[in-house]
Structure 1
Amino acid sequence: MRVWKLLGLAGILAGVATGAAVARDERVRRHYDAGEIRERLHARHDEAVAREALARDEKR
């Protein structure tokens, strides 16, 4: 019986920790305005295109 209690407590603690992490990430995500998000997405896209071009050139 004691093992089941410990497993249940561990499950509850894992759920609480996951919820706290999700809430923290949501607060960080909402901190950006639309312009900042757009700039970050464009920068990530440019990096991906550059990596793809570099990989393509290395294959030649």
Structure 2
Amino acid sequence: MRGIWKWVGLAGAAGVVAGGVLVARDQRRRNSYTPEDIRARLHQRHAQAHGSDVMR
């Protein structure tokens, strides 16, 4: 029974590490945008949304 808890603990630790890696990767991707990039993307999305309403 003691060995089972050891493996459960190791699996949990591996899950925490994997989750941390995914969070760090996502954070790097978000930090790679400049404010100008974000502004341009927001303007583009707004234009697309506004354009689709006009088409109806």
Which TM bucket (shorter chain)? 0.7 to 0.9
Match of 1:4 in 2: 5
Amino acid at match of 1:12: A
**TM value normalised by structure 2:** 0.73
Distance between the aligned counterparts of 2:5 and 2:46, measured in 1? 49
One-letter identity of the residue aligned with 1:43: Q
Q: Unmatched 5+ residue regions in structure 1?
A: none
**Counterpart position of 2:37:** 36
Q: TM-score, normalized by length of structure 1?
A: 0.69
Amino acid across the alignment from 1:38? R
Q: Aligned residues: percent identity?
A: 45
CA drift at 1:40: 1.6
Q: Which amino acid aligns with 2:29?
A: V
Residues paired across the two proteins, number: 54
Q: RMSD over aligned Cα, in angstroms?
A: 1.9
